[in-house]
Amino acid sequence: MLNIAEEFVTRPAREHPQKTAIVGVERQATYAEIETEMNRVAQALRDFGCRPGDRVLIVLPDSLEFIASFFGAAKIGSLPVPVNPMARATDYQHYLADSGARFAIVHASTFEEFRPALHAAAAEYTIVVGARGRADEPRRGTTIAWGDWLPKNAGDVAAHPTKADDPAFLLYTSGSGGMPRAAVHRQSGMLATSAGYARGVLGLRPDDIAFSVSKLFFAYGLGGGMYFPLSVGASTVLFPERPRADLIADAVRRHRPTVFFSVPTFYAALLREADSGTQIDFSSVRLAVSAGESLPAEIFSRFRNQFGLDILDGLGSTEMLHMYLSSRPGQTRPGSCGVPVPGYLMKIVDEQERELPDSEIGNLWISGPSRFIEYWNAPEISRARTQGEWYLTGDKLLRNPEGFYQYCGRADDMMKVSGMWVSPVEVENALLGHPAVAECAVVGQSDSLGLTRPVAYIVLRQGVQQPGGAMDSEISAWLRTRLVGYKCPEEFHFVAKLPKTATGKIQRFRLRLQAERNSAAKP
């Protein structure tokens, strides 16, 4: 038998019941208190007819209630499905209809946005956290307040006898390339990533305090902010609000985390906050980790100069649950996402599936113990993205002769310009070196002859002006001193912000659509 609720909550609660597990929120919690709340959720689900294999949609901010709901559902063999608590009504309609969840646990602050989804694909029971009093008596389609739903004392609820390869939970992809899909993960997946990455790469310890800016509904945040610290008896700082650089900086100062997980766009935001004069104290942090997108070398260097910390860049995915490539402490290289995490195999292949030699850009295939089972309700896509034990990532990478990997972009982000492959990541990294550029994204646009040309979308740093359109000429001339001509964008669009997913990934597909519309509108 292997049940993740037993592994990540019950076992550590028995080993160190009074140790503080959760800090940073109004209600802190010990390991024993997490176990108590988990058992109350598990018992309530059973009492209301939740069966093994049923999906339980979790629409909660990072909190004790999130952790208790996730592991409470898993304990009885049902499948927790965490999703973004700051999404829109159409997103919730998709999540509820696609997952077929019979139960939804929703925060009161999200409920009005969530309510329209119930008309399209009603859950049998919707439990509202933060609501007071029962709206009506329990029945199909009813809405119940969290406090009324939970039993006062559940005791030790028996765990469903799941096995290592049984489904444990569903995680939706970020939607950076379109409609999110749910990856089905095994019971053994969290143990594999905890052993290979949390302990094998990061060396996470019981005295660590983890702080993940990425939220728990996101695969990266679920590890860094929840089950990694639980796996070693450490503490986690939970921050339920939308992340903002000044607020995160204050939380770091107050809670003194030792391991900090974030994404490249937020590391850039912290640097801008420091540039504005805010005092940011990272003296407690021994490890700063980045994932979600490739970390630009410029941000790596500026962060090291500002805070004296090397950011450990890594590459993972929802389908593989967490990192499969990562830099190592003391072995970082700007622009590299490191080397394979212990237990993972990878190869770079061409379009004919032939393995490529070092220094050639190709398609990355991954094999490892945390690979997803399938996409929920999407057998054709599941077959297209897997081959035996391999997961076909859709990412373009190269490996240098020393064995370090470099991310070049998504396969559909790559551009062929003048017969040569151009990585948008390379161009973006160069652009970020310009003192006026805060953020940027580069996509391909077809010209009147149908040839592809790079186009740049740029967010300027605060206070930077572009008088008379001179900024694009200045940046273009500057860029040509750093890149060969065919890699340099021929158009620059200055925007207030870039389209991103809730997890901070730039949605380049939206910019490609915008670029094509711009091209079609030209005479």
pLDDT digits (tens, 9 = 90+) for 445-504: 876 656 678 899 999 988 887 655 688 889 999 998 888 887 899 889 999 999 887 767
* Average pLDDT of span 125-139: 69
> 443: which strand partners?
455
Residue 468 zone, left/alpha/beta (φ > 0; ψ -120 to 50; rest): left
pLDDT band, residue 409 (cuts 50/70/90): confident
SS (H, E, C) 180-249: CCEEEEECCHHHHHHHHHHHCCCCCCCCCEEEECCCCCCHHHHHHHHHHHHHHCCEEECCCCCCCHHHHH
- Place 131 in a pLDDT band, splitting at 50, 70 and 90: confident
The residue with tokens 């504005």 is 276
Q: Check if the beta carbon of residue 392 is closer than 8 Å to that of residue 386.
A: yes
CA dihedral 257, 259, 264, 268 (to 10 degrees): 40
Is 221's pLDDT higher than 70?
yes
Q: What is the pLDDT of residue 522?
A: 62
Residue 399 has what DSSP assignment?
E
173 pLDDT more than 60: yes
For the stretch 196-216, pLDDT in tens is 999 999 999 999 999 999 999
Nearest to 45 by CA among 135, 122, 123: 123
Q: For residue 44, what pLDDT band results from cuts at 50, 70 and 90?
A: very high
Q: Tell me the C-alpha to C-alpha distance, in Å, between residue 106 and each of 24, 60, 117.
A: 21, 6, 12
| Token pair recorded at residue 244 | 């903002």
Q: Is the pLDDT of residue 337 over 60?
A: yes
Per-residue b or e along 108-118, where b marks 16 or more CB atoms closer than 10 Å to that residue's CB: eebbebbeebb
Q: Identify the pLDDT of residue 137.
A: 42
With a CB cutoff of 8 Å and minimum separation 6, the contacts of 283 are none
| Tokens matching residue 286 | 């021994």
Which of 137 and 159 is assigned the larger pLDDT?
Answer: 159
Q: What is the pLDDT of residue 118?
A: 86
Inter-CA distances, 221 with 61, 173, 208, 260, 288, Å: 12, 13, 16, 11, 14
The pLDDT assigned to 100 comes to 95
Smallest CA-to-CA distance from 3 within 65, 76, 101, 56 is with 76
DSSP state, 293? S
- Label the pairing between strands 55-59 and 20-23: unpaired
pLDDT at 78: 98
pLDDT band at residue 414, thresholds of 50, 70 and 90? confident
Mean pLDDT of 107-130: 89
Distance CA 309, CA 288 (A): 7
Q: What structural domains and CATH numbers belong to the chain?
A: 4-18+30-162 (3.40.50.12780), 182-329+336-351+367-410 (3.40.50.12780), 415-521 (3.30.300.30)
Q: Which residues of 161-184 are buried (b: 16+ CB within 10 A; e: fewer)?
A: ebeeebbbbbbbbbbbbeebbbbb
Check pLDDT > 50 for residue 55. yes
pLDDT at 77 over 90: yes
* Rounded CA separation 508/450 (Å): 20
- Residue 399 corresponds to which tokens in the numbers above? 């490996």
pLDDT in tens, 350-392: 989 999 999 998 999 999 999 999 999 999 999 999 999 999 9
pLDDT for the residue 363: 94
Distances (CA, A) of 414 to 391, 394, 405, 423, 445: 20, 11, 17, 5, 11
Record the tokens describing residue 478, joined without a space.
Answer: 């500057």
- Reduced DSSP (H G I as helix, E B as strand, rest coil) percent helix, strand, coil of the chain, to 5: 35, 25, 40
- Residue 176 pLDDT greater than 70, yes or no: no
Residues 84-118 pLDDT 10s: 999 888 889 999 999 999 999 999 999 999 998 88
pLDDT at 62: 97
Q: What is the mean pLDDT of the chain?
A: 91
Tell me the C-alpha distance between 507 and 293, whole Å. 11
Share of the chain above pLDDT 90, in %: 69
Q: Tell me the backbone φ, ψ of residue 299, rounded to 5 degrees.
A: -70, -40
Map 362-377 to HEC letters: EEEEEECCCCCCEECC
Query: pLDDT class for 126, splitting at 50, 70, 90?
Result: very high
Distance, CA of 156 to CA of 60 (rounded, Å): 24
Q: Which residue has the higher pLDDT, 264 or 346?
A: 346
pLDDT confidence tier of residue 413, bands split at 50, 70 and 90: confident
Residue 179 predicted with pLDDT over 60: yes
Average pLDDT over every residue of 231-252? 95
Query: Are the beta carbons of 365 and 390 closer than 8 angstroms?
Result: yes
Is 238's pLDDT higher than 70? yes
Percentage of residues of the chain with pLDDT beyond 70: 94
Listed in sequence order, the DSSP H helices in 442-499 are 470-479
Q: Write the single-letter amino acid at 197.
A: Y
User: What pLDDT digit, counting tens, does each position of 426-439 carry?
Assistant: 899 889 989 899 99
Q: Where are the beta strands (DSSP E) in 248-371?
A: 259-262, 287-290, 311-316, 323-326, 339-340, 345-349, 362-367
Instruction: Give the range with max mean pLDDT: 159-163, 261-265, 415-419, 472-476.
Output: 159-163
pLDDT at 520: 63
User: Minimum mean pLDDT among 51-55, 293-297, 454-458: which range?
Assistant: 293-297
Q: What does the angle CA 246 – CA 252 – CA 256 come to, to the nearest 5 degrees?
A: 165
Query: H/E element holding 302?
Result: helix 297-307
Q: Which pLDDT score is estimated for 133? A: 55
Mean local confidence (pLDDT), 59-79? 98
How many angstroms separate the CA atoms of 406 and 338, rounded? 8
pLDDT at 450 (0 to 100): 63
Higher pLDDT, 447 or 193: 193
Q: What's the rounded mean pLDDT across residues 283-291?
A: 97
DSSP 157: P
Task: Give Cβ neighbours of residue 206 (< 8 Å, ≥ 6 apart).
Answer: 16, 232, 233, 234
Q: Is the pLDDT of residue 139 over 50?
A: no
Residues 210 and 225: beta-carbon distance below 8 Å: yes
